[in-house]
Amino acid sequence: MKKKCFDHRNWHRTTSDEQHIYNLLDGILVDYLAGEVTKPLVVSSCGVQMTVLDSFHRWIHWAPTGAHHALTVQLDAQDRPIQFYIDINHSNAVSEDGLPYGMDLYLDVVALTEGWQVKTAEIIDGDELEEAISQGRVSPELAEFAWMQARNVHALLLNQAFEDLLVVQKHLKDHPRRVFWEATPTA
């Protein structure tokens, strides 16, 4: 397993950014706002090339307590979902500095969206999990657990039943985007 922390403050891809942490009853949520992006992040997801990080994009990361996954909703500059990215974890925890991290089991589930509806989804990084097994970083039993969790998340997404998305939607409603990159008016 590897420890994967969600912290994009001072990301080398941006000239400015903002990150806020919210401790909720059922987990921890991180709201990351990119300012100017100097190096957009383009990925291939479900066979489609897309830009998941560009200037003024927003990423909401939700790590539910007791769950075996963590959700990152990648939003464009108008807070429209681009992609849902789910890390499959053995466990979620909070570091001493208050940031969520997961004990990552290498598999991830990505979903393409139309608004908040999932169009298609796929499980990725099976090759990374196989390599971790061969190197003794993950047991075969833990790998089977990871596949079971990934298949469950995948099915929930395709059935429009992945309830963690509701947490992010509520957060966006309660915390609308602040335009932190706008210049302050001069007198």
Cα–Cα dist 17/33, whole Å: 6
Strand pairing report for 17-24 and 48-53? unpaired
DSSP string, 8-24: -TT-TTBS-EEEEEEEE
Task: Identify the CA nearest to 81 among candidates 55, 52, 103, 56.
Answer: 52
Domain extent, residue 151, equals 2-174
Give the E-state strand segments of 76-145 in sequence order: 81-94, 100-114, 117-124
Query: Has residue 186 been placed in a domain?
Result: no
Q: How many domains does the chain have?
A: 1
In tens, the pLDDT along 173-186 reads 999 886 544 443 44
Cα–Cα dist 94/92, whole Å: 7
Query: Has residue 115 been placed in a domain?
Result: yes
Confidence grade of residue 130 (pLDDT, cut at 50, 70, 90) = very high
In tens, the pLDDT along 18-28 reads 999 999 999 99
Query: Has residue 9 been placed in a domain?
Result: yes
Cβ burial, residue 134 (10 Å; 0-12/13-18/19+): exposed
Task: Identify the CA nearest to 57 among candidates 102, 113, 19.
Answer: 19
Total-model pTM:
0.92
Query: Has residue 11 been placed in a domain?
Result: yes
- Tell whether the model's pLDDT for residue 125 goes beyond 70: yes
Query: What percent of the chain has a predicted confidence (pLDDT) above 90?
Result: 87
Cα–Cα dist 108/110, whole Å: 7
Query: Has residue 114 been placed in a domain?
Result: yes
Q: Computed from CA positions of residues 154, 155, 160, 163, in that sequence, does the dihedral angle turn out positive or negative? A: negative
In tens, the pLDDT along 139-161 reads 999 999 999 999 999 999 999 99
In tens, the pLDDT along 37-53 reads 999 999 999 999 999 99
Query: Has residue 187 been placed in a domain?
Result: no
Q: Would you call 14 helix, strand, or coil by DSSP? A: strand
Q: What per-residue confidence (pLDDT) applies to 163? A: 97
* CATH number of 111's domain: 2.40.380
Query: Has residue 70 been placed in a domain?
Result: yes
Query: Has residue 16 been placed in a domain?
Result: yes
Cα–Cα dist 54/32, whole Å: 12
Q: What per-residue confidence (pLDDT) applies to 10? A: 86
Torsion angles phi and psi, residue 25, rounded to 5: -60, -40
